[in-house]
């Protein structure tokens, strides 16, 4: 694994070649998914779905946003406290792994036909399907729609400055990169994390014995966004050998503009 390389390479891909995934890619993706632990103990899973069954095409509608994809990843999870962040953490691990394989992906939250996908999945009564992503070989040819989307996104694809997202001691003091210490690279990978409309509505506050994570509440996707951020942070910490623990604290610095989520705590 080279998590930081995968994070830097990942981008949203909407146009694919139409070639089905080769069996070696299917096998390694399914094997990777099968061995992933469940983050924060939440019951969640990722399924690889094909747009054909026994040689016949299967309708998987994405309202024109995706073209040429023959396989999709689907995120399924049980309703529970902290379910959405944990499920998003799990899904982003698979997204990054596929990026490492040279495959394209694209998080889809609202721009797909849930009923089409649910027909291909055996959902249990307490399970939700909220996120899917195409996965496949990237086409060199971009449609007009994708070029238009790229131009629209390019207006706000630049990430917010480090000191606008991360703070030291309290929320009145932006965190200086030099003061971030061993957490500089993990926080930089959080800064690069994708989010709905690239809002980046999560924040982190560094104290002496803990790094606290917060989020702004703005839509149904803010919980998924913080899960992606936590994934980038912890995977980078593991890659660097920084081994601490997630804890939901009762005593934490409060702020009216953001909601506390969880802390990375060390002795």
User: Which CATH superfamily groups domain 3-146?
Assistant: NADH Oxidase (3.40.109.10)
Residue range 183-192, pLDDT digits in tens = 999 999 999 9
Residue range 186-211, pLDDT digits in tens = 999 999 999 998 899 999 999 999 99
Residue range 72-90, pLDDT digits in tens = 999 999 999 999 999 999 9
Sign of the CA dihedral running 248, 159, 105, 130: positive
Q: Which of 131, 138, 70, 74 is nearest to 103 (CA)?
A: 138
Domain ranges of the chain: 3-146, 162-265
What angle, rounded to 10 degrees, do the helices at 83-100 and 23-34 form?
150
pLDDT classification of 156: cutoffs 50, 70, 90: very low
Tell me whether the CATH fold assigned to 3-146 matches the one assigned to 162-265. Answer: yes
Q: Greater confidence, 85 or 53?
A: 85
Residue range 161-174, pLDDT digits in tens = 999 999 998 999 99
CATH number, domain 162-265, options 3.10.180.10, 3.40.109.30, 3.40.50.300, 3.40.50.10090? 3.40.109.30
Question: What's the chain's average pLDDT?
Answer: 91
Q: Which of 259, 170, 177, 173 is nearest to 207 (CA)?
A: 170
pLDDT classification of 143: cutoffs 50, 70, 90: low
Residues 42 and 86: beta-carbon distance below 8 Å: yes
């Amino acid at each position: 694994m080279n998590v930081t390389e995968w994070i830097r390479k990942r981008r949203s891909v909407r146009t694919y070649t139409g070639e089905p995934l080769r069996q070696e890619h299917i096998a390694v993706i399914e094997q990777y998914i099968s061995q992933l632990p469940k983050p924060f103990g939440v019951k969640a899973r990722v399924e690889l779905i094909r747009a054909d069954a026994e040689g016949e095409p299967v309708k998987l509608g994405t309202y024109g946003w995706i073209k040429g994809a023959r396989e999709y990843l689907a995120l399924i999870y049980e309703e529970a406290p902290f379910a959405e962040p944990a499920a998003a953490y799990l899904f982003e691990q698979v997204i990054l792994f596929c990026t490492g394989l040279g495959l394209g992906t694209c998080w889809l939250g609202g721009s797909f036909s849930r009923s089409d996908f649910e027909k291909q999945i055996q959902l249990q009564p307490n399970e939700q399907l909220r996120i899917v992503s195409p996965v496949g070989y990237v086409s060199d040819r971009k449609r007009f729609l994708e070029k238009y989307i790229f131009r629209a996104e390019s207006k706000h694809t630049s990430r917010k400055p480090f000191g606008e997202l991360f703070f030291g001691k309290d929320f009145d003091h932006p965190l200086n990169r030099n003061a971030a210490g061993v957490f500089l690279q993990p926080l930089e990978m959080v800064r690069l994390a994708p989010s709905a409309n690239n809002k980046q509505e999560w924040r982190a506050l560094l104290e002496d014995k803990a790094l606290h994570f917060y989020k702004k509440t703005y839509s149904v996707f803010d919980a998924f966004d913080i899960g992606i951020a936590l994934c980038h942070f912890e995977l980078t910490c593991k890659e660097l050998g920084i081994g601490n623990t997630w804890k939901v604290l009762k005593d934490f610095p409060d702020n009216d503009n953001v909601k506390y989520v969880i802390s990375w705590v060390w002795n």
